[in-house]
Amino acid sequence: MTEATGKVAAPVVRSIGAAGRYRGLLILGLAAAVGVVAGLVVTAMSWVTQHLHAVLFGLADGGRLSAQAALANPLMALVPALGGALMALSVILTRRFRTRPPVDPIEANAVHGGRMSIRESLLLAGQAMISSGFGASVGLEAGYTQLASSIGSRLAALSGLRRNEIRTLVGCGAAGAIAAAFGAPLTGAFYAFELIIGVYSIALLAPIMVAAVTASLVAPLLGAVQTSIHMGTIPQLGAGDTLPFLALGLLGGGAAIGVMQLVVLVERGFGWTRMPVMLRPVLGGLLVGGIALVTPEALSSGHGALDLEIVSNTALLALVGLFVLKTLAAAISLGSGFRGGLFFAALFLGALMGKAVALTLAALSLPVQIDPTLAALVGMASMAVGVVGGPLTMTFLVLEVTGDLAISVAVLAAAIAASVLVRETFGFSFSTWRLHLRGETIRSAHDVGRLRNLTVGSMMRRDVKTVRSGITIEAFRAAYPLGSTERVVVVDETGAYVGIVLVADAYARRVGAPDAAEQAIDALLRFTDCVLMPWQSAEKAATLFEQWHSEELAVVHADADRRVLGLLTEAHLLRRYAEELEKSRRDLTGEA
């Protein structure tokens, strides 16, 4: 959608939305439009990336880069380094045009009320295509969801929708992108519920499913190659088979934590080298190219390699070696500055891990045995849950791409085990862990932005009654008769905060005492060191009220510049906080 088209269409859409009885239909129509856009985004990005693979690595029509037995020419190992050079160029251009780091859908919905920038998202999508197209071990799913969600956010903003509706359309974009990429509408829908919006509700079901189904239909019509997994016959499972899969789920969760920590460790390692940021992707590309000389299965997202390894008879040591090399390639790619995600890498690594566990049990002739193909599928779900989050999302993904409902109990049990382990021991998915490293405290897409925007500065009362420090109690009484106000702020000659005087204290003080100093209002000062700053959150202010046992505090400009800006009462703070919590609850449940 162009800016001009959006400006023309926006008044029409707003007028439809203004009629409350049609607002639900408007949301569904926009969700369908976002689904179409998501299908276009996935088709275009996957086509560009596949075309780059064909040109740069000499693939035949329909060939997958990670399914190659070896590079056609050893010099092709330099291709990832060339991609690193292009990434470095994009970093330089980003700095030149002062483009901030893109806000991803999770952060947008949690902190910014769903607001995203299309320009920033186009930059990330372009970098993701360069990274994956030149062989870096990253997936395109982050680029898909970023661009589709940002377009959903823009459509919602142009349509004059409310905060919770903007967040919903951001979720529609992500749902459509995942559904289009895998041909799995239920997976896309629960990806939006669990990861992007942070909650499932009946009110959200219709628009999210409309976007997911629309995208999953549009993408194949446009020629997008969707991920599918071909496997043999799955053996019947009994109730006693659940326990080994719970153990496999825990193992997958632990491996996911290790991979996430390794990415951060590699990133810090590049930092310790003091190498310029622009050169790090080039070095990372050289290292990934060296791994590709051993096995091209470590390159790019790994779609071809996953399809190959699910049904292959690869030996145990080869599986372990490939797991190590793919893990290193993914960590080096992300740690050195390539853009993309670990979504599909986690699926691939989980499949390798699960199959390796099954082969290990068979080699040791233990009483407990697991079918290797089934173990690969369960491992795939469990490790992906640990990295990406969303146990139902990954369970539906395995079920939809395999088309086998018989494995649902095993997959769900492992996914839940992995999710509990990661949540209790690590606390973050990969996306929220990266935000945590940047200083954010969010753990999910629940909307905390509304409460964050509730600052002291937005709630304070600006009509502050003041007196000059040093005046007598008698003069203070003349200026503020009993009953005129409860508190008065005392300032010095520069207007800086000195303290607060209770009017009741001034009238309770006996005037005419022999000691002249007692007749100065300064003797009645309270809370001389207790002030609020306008940028402080409501939560922080509530803590300070409780700590200082005050019902009202002055708000000053800063610690160094104590100019009085206003007053805030504890009662008003708590009332506004409760109102915002209620609004957040209504947004989550979809209530009007």
pLDDT for res 357: 94
Name which residue leads in pLDDT, 350 or 311: 350
Arithmetic mean of pLDDT, 35-53 = 95
Length of the chain: 592
Q: How confident is the model at residue 289 (pLDDT cuts 50, 70, 90)?
A: very high
Residue 293: predicted pLDDT? 95
Residue-wise burial string across 325-361, b where 16 or more C-beta atoms lie within 10 A, e elsewhere: bbbbbbbbbbbbbbbbbbbbbbbbbbbbbbbbbbbeb
Q: Label residue 3 by pLDDT band (50, 70, 90).
A: very low
Beta pairing partners, 500:
489, 526
Residue 69 above 90 pLDDT? no
Please report the domains of the chain, with CATH numbers, ordered by start residue: 3-221 (1.10.3080.10), 239-445 (1.10.3080.10), 451-583 (3.10.580.10)
Residue 537, judged by CB atoms within 10 A of its CB (0-12, 13-18, 19+), counts as: middle
Q: Judge whether residue 217 has pLDDT over 90.
A: yes
- Check whether 428 has a pLDDT greater than 80: no
Lowest mean pLDDT among 40-49, 246-255, 406-415: 406-415
Q: C-alpha angle 400/402/404, rounded to 5°?
A: 90
State the pLDDT at residue 437. 65
Hunting for tokens 């019947």 — which residue is that?
236
Helices (H), 295-390: 303-311, 316-336, 343-363, 372-388
Residue 129 pLDDT grade (very low, low, confident, very high; cuts 50, 70, 90): very high
Mean pLDDT of 178-183: 94
Instruction: Give the separation between CA 587 and CA 166, rounded to whole angstroms.
Output: 11
User: What is the rounded average pLDDT for all residues in the chain?
Assistant: 85
pLDDT given at position 81: 96
pLDDT-derived band of residue 582, with 50, 70 and 90 as boundaries?
low
Between these two residues, 204 and 591, which has the higher pLDDT value?
204
Report whether pLDDT(92) > 60.
yes
Query: If we measure between CA atoms, which residue out of 181, 219, 185 comes closest to residue 205?
Result: 185
> Cα–Cα distance between 211 and 457 in angstroms, integer?
39
Give the per-residue pLDDT at 186: 95
For residue 313, what pLDDT band results from cuts at 50, 70 and 90? Answer: confident
% residues pLDDT > 90 (the chain): 42
- At 280 the pLDDT is 93
Task: Report the b/e string of 45-68 with b at 16+ CB within 10 A.
Answer: bbebbbebbeebbebeeeebbbbb
Which residue would you say has higher pLDDT here, 446 or 89?
Answer: 89
Residue 95 Cα distances to 101, 106, 218, 589, angstroms: 10, 24, 36, 41
Q: Is 331 helix (H, G, I), strand (E, B) or coil?
A: helix
Q: Quick check: 2 pLDDT over 50? A: no
Band of pLDDT at residue 156, cut at 50, 70 and 90: very high
Across the range 53-77, mean pLDDT stands at 90
Q: What is the pLDDT of residue 439?
A: 59
Could you give the CA distance from residue 260 to residue 248 in angstroms, rounded to a whole number?
Answer: 18
| Model confidence at 278: pLDDT above 90 | no
69-231-303 Cα angle (round to 5): 45
- Average pLDDT of span 209-222: 95
Of 55-64, 142-151, 274-283, the range with the highest mean pLDDT is 142-151
The whole-model pTM stands at 0.79
More confident position, 470 or 56:
56
pLDDT in tens, 329-379: 999 999 999 999 899 999 999 999 999 999 999 898 888 888 888 889 899
Tell me the three state secondary structure of residue 422.
helix
* Chain segment 471-506, per-residue pLDDT in tens: 888 888 888 888 888 889 999 888 889 889 888 888
pLDDT band at 516 (very low <50, low <70, confident <90, very high): very low
Chain centroid offset of residue 328 CA: 24
Average pLDDT over residues 251-279: 91
| pLDDT at residue number 331 | 95
Question: Is the pLDDT reported for residue 14 higher than 60?
Answer: no
Q: Pick 499 or 510 by higher pLDDT.
A: 499
What's the pLDDT at 126?
A: 94
Q: What is the mean pLDDT of residues 438-454?
A: 59
Q: Phi and psi of 232, rounded to 5°?
A: -80, -160
Q: Is the pLDDT of residue 15 over 60?
A: no
pLDDT band, very low/low/confident/very high, at 32 (cuts 50, 70, 90): very high
Segment (H or E) for 555: strand 552-556
What pLDDT, on the 0 to 100 scale, is given for residue 155? Answer: 95
pLDDT at 534 over 90: no
Tokens of 293: 């000389």
- Banded pLDDT at 169 (limits 50, 70, 90): very high
Question: Where is pLDDT greater, at 530 or 2?
Answer: 530
Q: Lowest-pLDDT range, 194-198, 383-387, 555-559?
A: 555-559
* The predicted structure's pLDDT at residue 228: 67
Confidence class for position 18, pLDDT limits 50, 70, 90: very low
pLDDT at 446 (0 to 100): 58
Q: What is the mean pLDDT of residues 265-280?
A: 89
Mean pLDDT of 385-404: 87
CB-count burial class (<10 Å; 0-12, 13-18, 19+) for 40: buried
